[in-house]
Amino acid sequence: MVEAYIFIDIRAGWAKKILREIADLPEVTSVHACWGRPDLISHIKVADLKKLRELVLQRFQHIAGITATDTHVVIDT
């Protein structure tokens, strides 16, 4: 299992729409709007790094209104 936080920058006025769309993805465990940067932070769980890549590159980055993502993979310490 791979966990990651995805920091999301969006266009002004799109927060509610994008938050709802991201929250509906089965891999997303939580998503929160923030003041400042990033605009949204989501926590996700996927089976492996391939699934993470697919989620970010083929789903998150194709959502209208998202301008950038920054992915932070959780590591075991």
At 77 the pLDDT is: 77
Model confidence at 76: pLDDT above 90: no
Alpha helix positions (H), the chain? 15-23, 49-54
Closest CA to 10 of 19, 75, 73, 50: 19
Query: 3-class SS at 45?
Result: strand
pLDDT tens digits for range 16-66: 999 999 999 999 999 999 998 999 999 999 999 999 999 999 999 999 999
Read off the CATH number of the domain in which 25 is found: 3.30.70.920
* Domains of the chain: total: 1
Range of the domain at 28: 2-73
Give the residue-averaged pLDDT of 6-23: 96
Of the chain, the end-to-end C-alpha distance in Å amounts to 15
pLDDT tens digits for range 44-56: 999 999 999 999 9
DSSP structural state of residue 13: T
At 6 the pLDDT is: 98
Burial of 33 (0-12, 13-18, 19+ CB in 10 A): middle
